[in-house]
Every structure is written in C-alpha cells, then in structure tokens.
A and B are shown apart, each in its own frame.
Chain A
C-alpha cells in the first residue's frame, strides 16, 4: 500500500511551529500583564490555517503554558476557562465572523475579545476559588482594558504584514513539499 505522508508531516510541522511561536511570545511578554500577541496570532492562524489546525495549536498552547511555564502552573480549575476562552476565537471567526477579513474590523473584535477573555474566567474563579464576584469583576476591568488595547493595536498594525509573511512561508513550504519524493510504507 502506498501512503502519502507529506501533507501530514507538513501540517504537523506547521502546527508545532505555530504553537511554539505562540508559547514563546507569551512567555517573553509575560512580565507585562495581559500584553501579548497571542490574540493576534490565534486570529492569524484561524484565518490562514483554519479551525481544526488552530484548535490543535490552542490545545498544545494551553497544555504548554500550564506544564512548562517557568512562572509555575496556572490553577488547575482555571485550565478549562483558559481553553474555552482561547477556543472562542476560532469558533467565532469560523462562524459569526467568517466573512470578517479586514485588519480594522478584526482589531475591533480583538478589543471586544479582551473583555470576553476576562469574563470567561469569572464563573470559574468565583465558583471554584470562592472569590467574591463584584470586587473581582470590577478589579479585573483594568486588566481587561490593557488586554483589549494590546489586542487592538497589535492586530491593527501587525495583522496585514504578518499575514503576508505567513502566507509566503506557507507557499514556500508547499513548493518544497511538492519537490519531495512521496513516503511509502
């Protein structure tokens, strides 16, 4: 039986490299709370790689952040919240916002998502960690605003050039893959 594994290996490599970039930039910027390029990258991955691959990248990212972060693991009860929050991006961009492609509108989505990300954690924090609801809601607002602004500005200015560079790299990888001989088993 002849099996072509080129695409599988190529896809796996792209997923792993994309997840690594996501993880490393988040760690590199973790000294500034809620300032990162994660939302920009997840939006970019969703728009270019699609829902399935982005979902796998998010699974790897959530696991990596919780297992390998030098700052220690996140509280285990918050892992589902983190996973749901990140998965909202590919879900929304593959359904309701499927036809949104402009950097300006995606940056508006990134701004709103800054608040949504914070709100997803609220029920988990309140129920599992017994944190009072209202003070938590109020004191999380500055962090949500910082994330919203960071998302909006990063998407506004970096989405288009990153998309161009990423698409070029993917095309380059596709051409290289075509030249490779098919793997057989």
Chain B
C-alpha cells in the first residue's frame, strides 16, 4: 500500500493512506500515512458506526493539508467492542444434525437450516458478500466436497483450481457467517471462526481440506 502511494504521488496525484502495520509504513516512508490501531480487515475501525468511521477518515484526509512530509501519524482512538458484546449464540441449532455421520449429508442438512437465516440476513442488510466463486452456494459446497472425496469438480473457466478452492472456502464461510449474524447484536470474527470450526459440518469440511493441502 505504501509503495502504491509512492508511485501514484510520483505521477502527480497527492496521496494519503491508512496504515495497519506501522513498522512496514515506517520503512517504506510514503508521503502521508495514518497508522490506526485496529484489527486487520477493519481499516475504519467499527462496522455500522458512521461517526467513528468519519473521525478516522477526516484524520487521514487532514494529512493532505500538512506542509511537508513524509508524515506517519498515529491515530489515538481505539475501536472498543460494543457494550452488548459477549455471550453470542448462533441462532441455528444443529441438534438434529448427526455430527458423526456422512459429511455431505450433514453439510446439506446444516445448510438447509442456515438458508432461512441467510435469507433473513440478506433482507436485513440488503446485500451478501457470497459470490467470489460466482456459483450458487449449493454448487460451492458441492465443489468443496468434490475436492475432498472426488472426482473433483473443475474450477470455473479462467480460474485456477487453487484460487477456486480459496474463493469457494470464503463463500462457504461468508454464507455461514452471514446466516449466523442474522439477528442484531455484536459478534466478533473470532467468535464466528471458533463456532464454525468447532461446531459445524462446514468447519469439518474446511479443516479436512486444509489438512490435505
């Protein structure tokens, strides 16, 4: 990111950037950078908090009015967890899904239970980020299962098998995470990842694929 800033500013466009890894930014020395103490994946700190995001944005843009550089400024405000964080429970119960049964059957049963919640999540947010593989979620699951048990379903045209597995993995995770967070309330990425890998057939599938790679 800092290297891109060098190149674009050299071509005549003023830049300012958000830095998530201060040490890298200090080495590369882009013209203007604001280091923020937020987790990776959240450069503006908190989802659905417009006031917080605006404060970060304005701090980064204000660097454009400095007289000289390079500038590496530290943003002082942490992104706290909301007060209602804690005790998250997935709204879907998999009590009737046989955990020790056939993985494909268990996954299909799970996904049937998740689908109404995913529909609800899409309706609430007006969007889904499922779509990296560009296939319906049932095909995504079928594709991943085939990589484990064969014969492997080929990747979409123009996509390597490795990239397709990555995109399908992210689509399956996004489907589960979106469904699991259909109810209002705060849940961290860590909570979701622990739930997915410890309690779901999807997690068992992804763990098995990772062990194969």
A and B part of one assembly: no
Using CB atoms and an 8 Å cutoff, list the residues of chain A in contact with chain B. Answer: none
| B-to-A contact residues, CB < 8 Å | none
